Amino acid sequence: MKNIVILGAGTGGAITANNLAYRLSDEIRSGNVKITVIDKNEYHYYQPGFLFIALSLMTPKEITRHVKSVLVPGINFIKDEVSRVDLNNRIVYTMSGKQLNYDYLVISTGARLDLDSVPGIKGVDHFYSLDAALRLRDKITKFEGGNIVVTVGGLPYKCPPAPLEMTFLLESYFRKIGKRNNVEITYAYPLPRVFTIQNVSDVTAKLLEERGVKTSLMFNVESIDTEKREIKSVEGETLKYDLAIVIPPHKGAEVIEKSGIGDEEGWIPTDKYTLNIKGHDDAYAIGDATNIPTSKAGSVADFEASVVVSRIVDDLQGVKPNKVYDGRTICFLVTGIGEGTMLVFDYNNMPNPSPPSFACYWTKLAYNKLYWSMTVKSVLPGIGW
């Protein structure tokens, strides 16, 4: 029997497991292949929905499913925490004392929020977890006026457009409820532009200016004084706030550090084409866990999962794997309630965003519903929205 072990039941892990289960259904039924998914969490979240929850545009029920309900039949799910991975001996150890041997390993452990590296960050808001999004929703709903600062605690972070989307949605929200004149919104970013990619920055910077949003560039957060309500930057600038939304710094999963697999930030050194963990042809890393030069986004995990599945299936069938990941990424960028655009790019081609439209926003809303059936169940693998 060939054992395929997948660490993580989030987007990348679930898509990989489901796609493999479809492709290898005969082998699973005959007992020649076993697919095991390990995750300490019993719930799977559609993480882009956190942003919408914070603006009262979605509910927790819409973005939450039990892990077992998103995995197709034939997959073995173990609710446990991985304590260590031994790549050389092909063993996964869990906190409960289990030892799982594997023939193929897929690590999709994502990124974790680092709430200890920036002094004061625990005293402000973000929307990168369900609980945090709900707390922020309550504050936005009750906010009558004052200064709102949206900024980033460190690079990289999941879903690069998210801080911009939050800024646009806040501006749109307060305009729609008639309180825009009571609210001053500042978008601060650690680069000399408002987004990582220059031509996307050119488009969105113009929109921010047109909508009266202030910007502060080259603003790298150093500390937050929650009593004075001030955010200080490494560059010496201070921003005062009544409501601060600060994207926490991200690092790789703790188990990656404990296993000695990752770099100093916990990201797994990964071949950007084959997605093999460097030095290990039987182990792959996908999604936010890797160090490859592309966005930490759900679409990336989707496209990568398709590549990894093809390579594992080919190898099982005695065929030399040849499918590679080209860096393909698709990201929605919501520019207000009722409008948005889309970013499509890869390693060699930069995005060329179209003018924001309601049609694109509607597509985003539709995808929020279709995620559960179209993407995570791997009905259309590699669609990657």
Secondary structure class of 173 (helix, strand, coil)? helix
Identify the residue whose tokens are 């369900």.
Answer: 130
User: Is the peptide bond prior to 156 cis by the omega test (within 30 degrees of 0)?
Assistant: yes
Burial tier of 51 (Cβ tally within 10 Å: 0-12, 13-18, 19+): buried
Tell which residue, 103, 109, 104, has the closest CA to residue 81: 109
Per DSSP, the residues of 3-63 read EEEEE--SHHHHHHHHHHHHHTHHHHHHTSEEEEEEES-SEEE-TTHHHHHHTTSS-GGGG
Instruction: Give me the residue spans of the domains in the chain.
Output: 2-48+64-110+253-331, 113-249
Contact 328, 348 (CB under 8 A): no
User: What b/e readout covers 270-281, taking b as 16+ CB neighbours within 10 angstroms?
Assistant: bbbebbbbeeee
**Could you tell me if 117 and 18 are in contact, meaning their C-beta atoms sit under 8 angstroms apart?**
no
CATH class of this structure's domain 2-48+64-110+253-331:
alpha beta
pLDDT, one tens digit per residue, over 14-54 is 999 999 999 999 999 999 999 999 999 999 999 999 999 99
For the record, the structure tokens of 354 come out as: 């179209």
Per-residue confidence (pLDDT) for residue 378, from 0 to 100: 66
Residues 6+ apart with CB under 8 A from 329: 294, 295, 297, 299, 300, 303, 343, 344, 345, 346, 384
For residue 345, the 8-state DSSP code is: E
* Among the listed residues 340, 345, 119, 331, the one whose alpha carbon sits nearest the alpha carbon of residue 233: 119
- HSE-CB at 323 with a 13 A cutoff on CA atoms is 15
pTM of the complete model: 0.95
Task: State how far Cα 166 lies from the chain centre.
Answer: 15
Q: Decide: 137 and 173 in contact? Cβ < 8 Å.
A: no
Check for a shared fold between 2-48+64-110+253-331 and 113-249.
Answer: yes
Per-residue pLDDT in tens (0 to 9) along the chain, 385 residues:
999 999 999 999 999 999 999 999 999 999 999 999 999 999 999 999 999 999 999 999 999 999 999 999 999 999 999 999 999 999 999 999 999 999 999 999 999 999 999 999 999 999 999 999 999 999 999 999 999 999 999 999 999 999 999 999 999 999 999 999 999 999 999 999 999 999 999 999 999 999 999 999 999 999 999 999 999 999 999 999 999 999 999 999 999 999 999 999 999 999 999 999 999 999 999 999 999 999 999 999 999 999 999 999 999 999 999 999 999 999 999 999 999 999 999 999 999 999 999 999 999 999 999 999 889 986 655 554 4
- The domain defined by 113-249 carries CATH number 3.50.50.60: yes
| Residue 159 per-residue DSSP state | S
- Interatomic CA distance for residues 353 and 246, integer angstroms: 26
- pLDDT tens digits, 228-283: 999 999 999 999 999 999 999 999 999 999 999 999 999 999 999 999 999 999 99
The separation between CA 284 and the C-alpha centre of its own chain, rounded to angstroms, equals 18
